[in-house]
Structure 1
Amino acid sequence: MKGVVFTEFLDFVSGSLGADMADDIIDDADVASGGAYTAVGTYPHTEMQALVVALAHRTGTPAPDLLRLFGSHLCRRFVAKYPEFFEAKTSLFDFLDSVDGHIHVEVHKLYPDAELPVFRLNRRGADTIDLDYESCRPLEALAEGMIRAAADHYRQPVAIDTSRVEEEAGSFVRFSIQHAA
């Protein structure tokens, strides 16, 4: 997992709960890197899981809820750092449709070793899509937080239903996203 996710996570924790909390969860998680992350480095996703679990224990907030909050934060940071990806699209659905075919292509140009999730979008109508999330990392709550923040960015309220789909070739998470009134 790319280090930018780790550095943003620790910034998120420091900004919302204080630098001491960030230091405490690094100590609690006892990660191999010692919490010394660089944005361009690559680290095991298990370190992120350990940090989130440590934060959940310290705050009493369930890990999926923390990941959703962090996903929202991360999306807002990406809007600020990479506005061209968001400005090029006029709607949430068009933006989500560009993640695999454009944004992840650009990420691979910068970071050829990046192991990114796969997103497949199926439009079920003008107001509804299914977005399939496939990853070896169980970070669907992070993805959901990012989707919700992107919807806020485009000022398009949505309702999201999440389900796990099991198929012979493997499993994935399906986000059924509908524009809300």
Structure 2
Amino acid sequence: MKGVIFTEFLGLVEEKWDADMVDDIIDACDLPSGGAYTAVGTYDHQEIVALVVELSKRSGVEVPDLLRVYGQHLFSKLATTYPQFVGKTDSVLDFLEGVENYIHVEVRKLYPDAELPSFETRRLEPQVLEMIYRSSRHLDDVCHGLIEGCISHFNKQGTVEREPIEDGTRFIIRCE
């Protein structure tokens, strides 16, 4: 998993709690990396799992809730860092439809070794999108938060429903 995922997570922890919480969760996890991440480095995704579980224990916030908030935070940070990816449209659903065939193509140019989830999309109605998420990492809650972060970024009103399917998660996004 790319280091930007870790650096942004630790940034969120510092923002929502403090630097001591960052140090505490890193120290408690005994991570192979030692908790020293660079945005372009690659790290075992089990490290982020360990950090999130430890934060949940210390904060009392359930893991799924932490992951959704992290997804929201991550979208905001990525949109700021890579405005060229979000500036092509002002439509949430158009943006989400382009994740697999545009955003992920561009991400692979920047990070050829990135292991990305896959998305299939289908318009059910003009304002309703079905998005199928598949990933060996099963970070469905982060994906949910990323979608919510996208809706917020575009200053739209919308809802996100989800249901597990055999090999992934089906999201239904309704947006103005």
Give the TM bin, normalised by the shorter chain: over 0.9
- Give the counterpart letter for 1:176 in structure 2: I
Matches within 5 A, 1:126-137: 126-137=126-137
What stretches of structure 2 of length at least 5 have no aligned partner? none
- Give the counterpart letter for 1:72 in structure 2: Q
Alignment deviations for residues 63-95 of structure 1 (CA, whole Å, 9 cap, x no partner): 110011111111111111111111101200010
Divergent runs of 4+, >2 A: none
| Mapped pair 1:174 → 2:161 | no
Tell me how far apart the structure 2 counterparts of residues 38 and 10 of structure 1 sit (CA, whole Å): 12
**Corresponding residue of 2:94:** 94
Please tell me whether the aligned partners of residues 93 and 175 of structure 2 are also in contact (alpha carbons under 8 angstroms).
no
Matches within 5 A, 1:147-158: 147-158=147-158
- Give the counterpart letter for 1:79 in structure 2: A
Tell me how far apart the structure 2 counterparts of residues 39 and 153 of structure 1 sit (CA, whole Å): 22
TM-score (norm 1): 0.94
Matches within 5 A, 1:17-166: 17-166=17-166
Q: How many angstroms does 1:179 deviate by?
A: 2.3
